[in-house]
Chains A and B, each alone.
Chain A
Amino acid sequence: MPLTRRGFLSGSSSEPSLAALSAMISARGHEEALASGRPLKPAANDVIRINGNENPLGPGSRAIEAVLGVLGQANRYPFNSAPGDPDLTRQLASFFDADPAEVVVGAGSSEILRNAVRLFAVDGKHIVTANPSYGSPVTESKKLGLECRQVPVDADMRLDLEAMESEARGAGFVYVCNPNNPTATVHPPEAIESFIATIRGRAPEALILIDEAYHDYVTDPSHRSMIPLALTEPNVVVARTFSKAYGMAGLRLGVGIGHKDAIAKLRRHKLSANANVLAIAAATASLADPDHISRERARNLEARDFTRAFFDKFGFDSTDSQTNFLFVELGRPAKDFREASAKRGVVVARDFPPMEKTHCRISIGTMEEMKRACDAFADVLGGAA
């Protein structure tokens, strides 16, 4: 029987199943709140929240078991707990085939991104990022009064790497989100490699941060992580997160992997004891359970295909998503669509300027959620047609 939130909450069992626990731990709305800068209102329990690109099922059962297992260590700092900070770092290093000195843990990859901007976009050097893309570098630049060059994506909604290269001379920080949020597109590894080589020539000291938050959702067989390259190339760091496929947005854990010099810099600036003991336990258990990620990738693919086919049928194009969300050209303001959907109990993402008049981002929930969501969308889109 498929898990539904409603079913879970109305269940009379006082001991919820591990699957149900998993579903509940994936805390929602992180991205949304980050963008809007204000807290979300808790929605009713039967509302379908497909606005934050989270794994709707949460972490795997082993991760949940691990969290429950360390509750007795809630009083211990992460350097005293078992597993602790150093255990996680070692395990991450081995998982990514790196040395522990090439790994930095963050309270979410947001900490890695934030510190990277602050450390490398210095002495008047600017930031290069795409538009639209994940907003953290832009947000940081505004807070710090730094110049941020936002290069529009191309006509196919892909990062315009060539145009980004031409903005890179003298840059301090170059941000590449691959796959890109919110456009869901991915670049072939050769293109990213050549991009890195070009940037290296034009801005030798710039940090190139490749954000692979959605890496685990990519199904394009040609896709490759830039981690091996980051380990050898100075000032290239790959950011990964446990907030997406690992389903741990509410636990706050991310990781940066790269050349040890850049990582050493990021480590000096990281918040001491940044990862909480629950997140450390959950991540440690998750890394030892790779099947959970392949199952999640397959589950997401099925629901993603279903949702994309739905929009196709209605004549609305979307990019070839390599993530757990779709970027759909609805030909109407996202706001109208969002408000009409919300009235029908479906919460979709915020505006993504400059495409907010035509495109909407829709996260992939469970198949059951997407079926219900598509019923609501049909209503909204049909009514407006």
Chain B
Amino acid sequence: MRIASRRHFIKVGAGAAVAFIGARGREAQAAGQAITSIPVGATDLILSSNENPMGPGAHVLDAVRGALGSSGHGAGRYFFGQQAELNENLGKAVGGTKENIIVGAGSSEILRVAADVFTTSKYGVLTPEPTFGTAPGFAATLGRPVTRIGLDAKLRVDLEKMESVIDDIGLVYLCNPNNPTATTWPGTDLRASILRMLERNPHTTILVDEAYHEYVTDPEHETMVPLALENPSVIVARTFSKAYGMAGLRVGYGVSHPDAIKKMSDWRGMDMFTSVPGRLGALAALAHPDHVALEVRRNEALRQKTREFFQELGFEGTESQANFVYIDIRRSNEAFIKACRERGVRIGSGSKLYPTHARVTIGTEVEMERAFEVFDSILEEA
């Protein structure tokens, strides 16, 4: 029934979609809710890119429309008017100042800048594997050495092993929680490991990618932002693409000590790649932390439900701290991905290192119901 109504909705087209979102936003606001439900434009379920399926919320969309000219938002006229404001508000949000912030077109831009600035042809990137590939990938494109270290038995980043090869490393990339395995390290352990790495090699820089930070519910998790604010050898990357639901608007940022921020800014130059609507959207998103809190709760409940679904079928996954699960389906992930695709469900690309693990992004409840049916039928067949 729900599925049917969603299908019906997709048919009505883009113009109606906008009207729907607007109306839905007001409705949700009236009901005291901050989250709006946004349908996907494609007929396939997209559970492949760790996007927030609910979207950014009415406040962000209103701000984006403001950039297009709705009344009261003249700011859309001035390309750089909001840049200082965004840096300032981000600085405040992380407990620092604008000097601690570098904004980019997605955190990818920050990862790339760091991968270039902090490595040389001799001192390359140290990365876990598998992990999010942008930083090591760009370093490789630039001809910088890349040292890859496998995960531990619990599919966590193998901090101990990484520490042991720190000597000739320019940049250490740590994704916490790690993509695609959804695992985290407790704050105490991660901080201690970072400090040991810096002690052994004071010339290295540690880049902690906290793209999924907002989704973590483990009370032992800690952001490395406080460490980054005071230590120019530690950089934290954050994004509006995940819990904030703004992947399409391309805004991310880096947090560090002003010395490291200056180093990256000098090399990169001013932010030329983020858009006016993206920046206005980010400002609006920052002003509504309650919306992210709701999204985190929504995700946590469905994440649990998704893990239980697989457990009932006898498949275990890691203890996910992100908006996706990593499940051992005990068969070729390649074949599973293909079979899902054929049934209209796109899931994450599998790692060759874990050929029987599948990564599934947490969609909406309706989407997951449909996905479960598909997963069920495929896993039953084999």
Contacts and interface: CB of A to CB of B under 8 A. Distances in A.
Nearest to B78: A42
Interface stretch (B197-205, B262-270, B352-360, B366-374): B262-270
Interface in B55-78: 55-56, 60-61, 64-65, 67-71, 74-78
B13 to A, nearest CB: 8
B276 to A, nearest CB: 4
A376 B51 CA distance: 51
Interface string A87-111: 0000000000000000000011011
A21 B68 contact: yes
Given A271-B273, A274-B105, A39 B250 contact: no
A309 interface: no
A27 B49 contact: no
A273 B249 CA distance: 10
A251 interface: yes
Interface in A40-88: 40-43, 45, 49, 52, 64-65, 67-82
Interface stretch (B89-97, B239-247, B299-307, B311-319): B239-247
A15 to B, nearest CB: 8
Interface in A10-29: 11, 14, 16, 20-29
A33 B270 contact: yes
B209 to A, nearest CB: 14
B75 A42 contact: yes
Most buried by B among A25, A52, A79, A110: A25
Contacts of B278: 276
B77 A24 contact: yes
A353 B185 CA distance: 54
Contacts of A74: 38, 55-56, 60-61, 64, 245-249, 281
B40 interface: yes
B83 interface: yes
Contacts of B75: 42
Interface string A246-284: 000111100000000000000011011111111100000
Contacts of A11: 71
Contacts of B289: none
B248 A37 contact: no
B130 to A, nearest CB: 17
B55 A75 contact: yes
A28 B275 CA distance: 12
A20 B73 CA distance: 13
A268 B138 CA distance: 9
Nearest to A276: B250
Contacts of A80: 42, 46, 48-49, 51
B41 A82 contact: yes
Interface stretch (B14-22, B160-168, B223-231, B337-345): B14-22
A22 B77 CA distance: 11
Contacts of A64: 68
B249 A69 contact: no
A40 B46 contact: no
A271 B141 CA distance: 12
Most buried by A among B141, B250, B267: B250
Contacts of B54: 75
B250 A273 contact: yes
Contacts of A107: 105, 250, 272-273
Contacts of B60: 74
A34 interface: yes
A39 B53 contact: no
Contacts of B274: 252
A269 B21 CA distance: 36
Contact of A277 (B20, B71, B84, B248): B248
A219 interface: no
Given A71-B61, A74-B55, A78-B248, A40 B81 contact: yes
B212 to A, nearest CB: 15
Interface string B94-108: 000000000001101
B277 interface: yes
Contacts of A49: 77
B41 to A, nearest CB: 4
Interface residues of A, number: 68
Contacts of A108: 272-273
B52 interface: yes
Nearest to B137: A272
A67 B18 CA distance: 10
B106 A273 contact: yes
Most buried by A among B42, B78, B105, B278: B78
Contacts of B68: 21, 24-25, 64, 67-68
B298 interface: no
Contacts of A29: 78-81
A75 B65 contact: no
A139 to B, nearest CB: 7
Given A76-B46, A276-B248, A111 B272 contact: yes
Nearest to B133: A272
A202 B75 CA distance: 48
A271 B105 contact: yes
B285 to A, nearest CB: 11
Given A25-B68, A80-B51, A268-B141, A40 B78 contact: yes
Contacts of B241: 77
B250 A16 contact: no
A251 B276 contact: yes
B141 A269 contact: yes
A78 B14 CA distance: 17
B273 A40 contact: no
A143 interface: yes
B112 interface: yes
A69 B17 contact: yes
A78 B56 CA distance: 15
A9 B71 contact: yes
A40 to B, nearest CB: 5
A69 B22 CA distance: 12
Interface string A120-158: 000000000000000000011001000000000000000
Interface in A268-302: 268-269, 271-279
A30 interface: yes
19 contacts: A21-B69, A23-B69, A24-B69, A26-B77, A29-B80, A45-B74, A70-B248, A72-B38, A76-B248, A80-B46, A143-B267, A249-B79, A251-B276, A252-B273, A271-B105, A273-B250, A274-B250, A276-B278, A279-B275
Report the 10 A-B pairs with minimum CB-CB distance, sorted nearest first: A24-B69, A69-B14, A277-B248, A250-B276, A107-B273, A27-B79, A39-B80, A33-B80, A75-B55, A75-B245
Given A24-B74, A52-B79, A107-B105, 14 more contacts: A21-B68, A27-B76, A27-B78, A39-B84, A45-B74, A71-B18, A73-B41, A74-B64, A75-B38, A80-B49, A108-B273, A271-B106, A273-B247, A276-B250
